Structure 1
Amino acid sequence: MTVSRWLHSVAEGLASGVAQAGVLDANPVPRSWRHVTKLDPEPAKRLPLCYPAYLAHTDAVSVGGSTGVTPTTTEDTFRLLEFASPPAIHEPSAPTHVTDRTLSESAFLAVPEVLNGTSEALVGTLGEGIAALREDLIAARLDRHLPGWLSGRLTPHVAPLLSAHVLNRALFEAYIIQNPESAAAREAGVTAADVLSPTEARHRALAADAHLESEVVYVEYSGTYGGEAATEVIEAVAPELNWARLWYGGGLRTCEQVRAVRDAGADAVVVGDVFHEIAEAETDLYRRLEGAFDGEPTLDRIETWLDDAVAVADTAAAQYLSTTPVDAPVHRARTLLATSLLIRRTLDPVLAADASPARAARNLDAAIDDESLSRSFLSALAEGTQENGSGLPVTHLPVR
């Protein structure tokens, strides 16, 4: 083959590959995901009372955290998400956080790979997770469903195959952690010396995309907005990704910040801290509301009170919603904050054992007209306020 024919053949192959890439996108992470909400199962980080209504404006929910997280708190978070519409991703920080329930109720199991951390963060943690999946979770499942004599013989051979199947369905998130003061950095061994320049980030992202085949490259500032430094990294990384989605997370509170990150090339933004802060604001507002009315407040009266007592645009509710595609985020925040206060007021008699959960659920259903807050959700919420109730795990909600 002459050089000219060889060059022509290569050019045709490249053109064909580019054309196919434009049509066929095999990455299981939907390209349409533009906004992801991060939920931390840590007991201290609660969800807003009206969380299904807030989450109706996000594309997906990612469940994961590092401080005080247990299998129980993780499963409780997934129980809450039964009443929310977006698909859920489970991003465990320890192998024991993966359970039968989390596997069955999550759209994806996400495996973090820290590109600028220690080798333990990239390889050791993954190896530990695979071992736990194979030797604990899957082995226990086989023991439950097979006779003892058969389980002992089959488990050593079947468990590796089943664990490989689970991993084949998993997402791999290649993290570039840029805030060395964050909990994520401490977990991964990322120090100030490990913060990457745009060029270094580009090189790591190329490896993640072309060799590791990570479904997501995640530029993470963890609680702090990265500003110009973050957008420079995103601009360096975005053009190099053929397979992976590019996500940014860290300190997002305004539509302007979200626009800057997306304009730089991020496929999706991840918002977490400000979402949990809504629950704290609800508790504070409820304390301020007590004694503000004679008689029973209505939704309209509470909204009017909010207008007089609070700068709604400055609340965590409005800030979170401003990062989503929702129209009129301040107006929506005002309605949802008022709804949460009305729910809390209606549940107070149940907490005091002066009313039944069924009665509270009927009152809520009659007072609240929001399609994202279903009757089943309101009933489960009322039941959950009772000790040993069968409803929602209210330890994660600002009720008590």
Structure 2
Amino acid sequence: MNHLFQTWRHVFKLDPDRELSDEQLEAVCLSGSDAILVGGSSGVTYENTVDLMSRIRRYELPCAQEVSTLDSVVPGFDLYLIPMILNTNQAEWITGHHRSGLESYGEIIPWDMVATEGYIVLNPSSTVAKLTGADCELDARAAAACARIADKLMRLPIVYVEYSGTYGDLDLVREVRRVTEEATVFYGGGVRDYLTAKDAAKVADVVVVGNIVYDDLTAALETVQGVHEATS
């Protein structure tokens, strides 16, 4: 398995369905972030993913794709992350879509470039929560149980605590990380400046920064320093 993500602390997540100028993308890629993650919950196509990846490839940092639909998978990334939603009762978001993909492409998948993410989705207003029917009313104990399912029962390499646009309960994230022994804990949601990034980095292994890139690039770039100072 590709364990590239185990060296990451800060990641920018870029959405193929949103626009960044060449100058803005250059600033992101030269910011000192550890990697770029390409993905989104809606509007992601093969064409816009290819376009964004080709622009990122001008720079030397690692670039991963978070796979949301089969028809948007693009060859050429360093790593492919496959989400599984842990807090939904809709089986298609746990194994259903995955089985369909493997029926079609299982023989040709480069498994050494694939890692699975056990998602704990916690913002009920987010697109991903509505799409997957996630039960977002979890307390820290319930979230920790989900993390143990991923870490111990399913042996997933990544546990992803996702607040998707809202800054989350860091005590909950801390508890998830406390009980997770093998998997790498990602945190995403509402990281918008130096301080929120620094605080998130104290409770998660990897901090994922997304929306603020499009809303306030200067503040987004400051999150890199916040994460690295928290972990130095």
TM over 0.5: yes
Sequence identity percentage: 31
Q: Cα offset for 1:75?
A: 0.8
Structure 1 residue 205 corresponds to structure 2 residue 147: yes
Q: Point out the structure with the larger strand share.
A: 2
SS in 2 for 1:219: strand
Matched residue, 1:184: 128
The residue that corresponds to 2:198 in the other structure is 259
Give the C-alpha shift of residue 30 in structure 1.
Answer: 3.9
Q: Once the 2 structures are TM-superposed, how far is the Cα of residue 28 of structure 1 from its aligned partner?
A: 0.6
> Are positions 1:107 and 2:78 aligned together?
yes
1:124 maps to amino acid: G
2:95 alignment counterpart = 123
Count, aligned residues: 223
Q: CA deviation at 1:186?
A: 1.6
Q: CA deviation at 1:257?
A: 1.0
2:63 alignment counterpart: 88
Distance in 2 (alpha carbons) for counterparts of 1:47 and 1:131: 36
**Aligned-partner Cα distance in 2 for 1:231–1:322:** 20
The structure whose Rg is larger is 1
Give the SS at the match of 2:95. helix
- In structure 1, the partner of 2:19 is 46
Alignment-mate amino acid for residue 57 of structure 2: E
Alpha-carbon distance between aligned partners in 2 of 1:209 and 1:119, rounded to the nearest angstrom = 19
Letter paired with 2:22: L
What CA distance in whole angstroms lies between the structure 2 residues aligned with 1:27 and 1:217? 16
- What TM-score do you get using the length of structure 1 for normalisation? 0.53
- Which of 207, 232, 235 in structure 1 is aligned with 2:171? 232
**In the TM superposition, what are the counterparts of 1:130-141 in structure 2 within 5 Å?**
130-134=102-106
TM-superposition CA deviations, 1:14-71 (whole Å, max 9, x none)? xxxxxxxxxxxx87144331111111111xx111332123222211111111322211
Could you say what secondary structure the match of 1:83 adopts?
coil
Asked if 1 retains the 8 angstrom alpha-carbon contact of 2:192 and 2:223, the reply is yes
Cα gap change, 1:94/1:62 in structure 2, threshold over 3 Å: closer, same or farther? same
> Are the structure 2 counterparts of residues 36 and 126 from structure 1 closer, same or farther at C-alpha, using a change threshold of 3 Å?
same
Higher helix share: 1
How far did 1:168 drift? 4.6
Structure 2: gaps spanning 5 or more residues = 227-232
Taking a change above 3 Å as real, the CA distance of residues 180 and 274 of structure 1, as seen in their structure-2 partners, is: same
User: CA, structure 1 residues 27+201, in 2 after alignment: closer, same or farther (shift >3 Å)?
Assistant: farther
The gaps in structure 1 that reach 5 residues or longer are: 1-25, 135-159, 278-315, 327-400
Calculate the aligned-residue CA RMSD, in Å: 1.8
Q: Distance in 2 between matches of 1:84 and 1:32?
A: 18
